[in-house]
């Protein structure tokens, strides 16, 4: 599927440009968002290097390049993230991807983002609180 995205729809350079545009757009919208903006503001020391890391991640995830070799989950463990942030993160990502990427690439990116959002959420909030909501600690 990833190879098909790359070969059938566009060359690598165009795909890399679309990924950079998507990451830039996501952080534009996210920075202005009342829920995510303060988290980004507090925790991202320098935006440009961060955008590059995240673009490298997507290049690795969607095109199979090796520029990103990190472990994204671990980076999120100590961030001030609440369970409500995930739905917002995903909906802003979908918007950014739809605006900036050709359809096949956007579809692949959104599927990966959807899956990772679920994995991050269940990894960071593995328990349920008294009301049955995901929680960092047991009830």
Q: Which residues are annotated as a binding site?
A: 50
Distance CA 129, CA 68 (A): 35
The pair of three-digit structure tokens given for residue 41, joined into one six-digit string: 């503001």
Closest distance between ligand HEM and the C-beta of residue 35, in Å? 9
Region near ligand HEM per CB under 6 A, out of 8-16, 18-26, 82-90, 126-134: 82-90
Q: Produce one character per residue of 27-58: b if its CB has 16 or more CB atoms within 10 Å, e if not.
A: bebbeebeebeebbeeebeeeeeebeebbbbb
Is residue 116 at the binding interface for ligand HEM, with CB under 6 A as the rule?
Answer: yes
Distance CA 58, CA 65 (A): 9
Region near ligand HEM per CB under 6 A, out of 4-12, 20-28, 75-83, 128-136: 75-83
Region near ligand HEM per CB under 6 A, out of 7-15, 17-25, 52-60, 129-137: 52-60
Binding residue count for ligand HEM, defined by CB under 6 A = 22
Closest by CA to 111, choosing from 130, 94, 92, is 94
Is residue 27 at the binding interface for ligand HEM, with CB under 6 A as the rule?
Answer: no
Closest by CA to 25, choosing from 97, 75, 76, is 97
Is residue 31 at the binding interface for ligand HEM, with CB under 6 A as the rule?
Answer: no
Instruction: Give the position of tokens 């590059």.
Output: 52
Judged by the rule CB under 6 A, the positions of this chain that interact with ligand HEM are: 36, 39-40, 43-44, 50, 53-54, 57, 70, 72, 75-76, 79, 81, 85-86, 89, 113, 116-117, 120
């Amino acid at each position: 599927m990833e190879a098909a995205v790359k070969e059938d729809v566009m060359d690598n350079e165009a795909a890399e440009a679309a990924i950079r545009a998507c990451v830039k757009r996501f952080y534009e919208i996210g920075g202005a968002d009342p829920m995510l903006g303060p988290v980004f503001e507090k925790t991202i020391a320098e935006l440009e290097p961060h955008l590059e890391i995240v673009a490298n991640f997507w290049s690795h995830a969607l095109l199979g390049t090796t520029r990103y070799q990190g472990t994204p989950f671990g980076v999120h463990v100590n961030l001030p993230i609440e369970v409500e942030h995930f739905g917002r993160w995903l909906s802003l990502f979908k918007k950014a991807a739809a605006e900036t990427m050709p359809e096949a690439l956007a579809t692949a990116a959104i599927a990966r983002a959807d899956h990772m959002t679920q994995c991050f959420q269940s990894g960071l909030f593995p328990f349920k609180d008294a009301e049955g909501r995901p929680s960092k600690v047991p009830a």
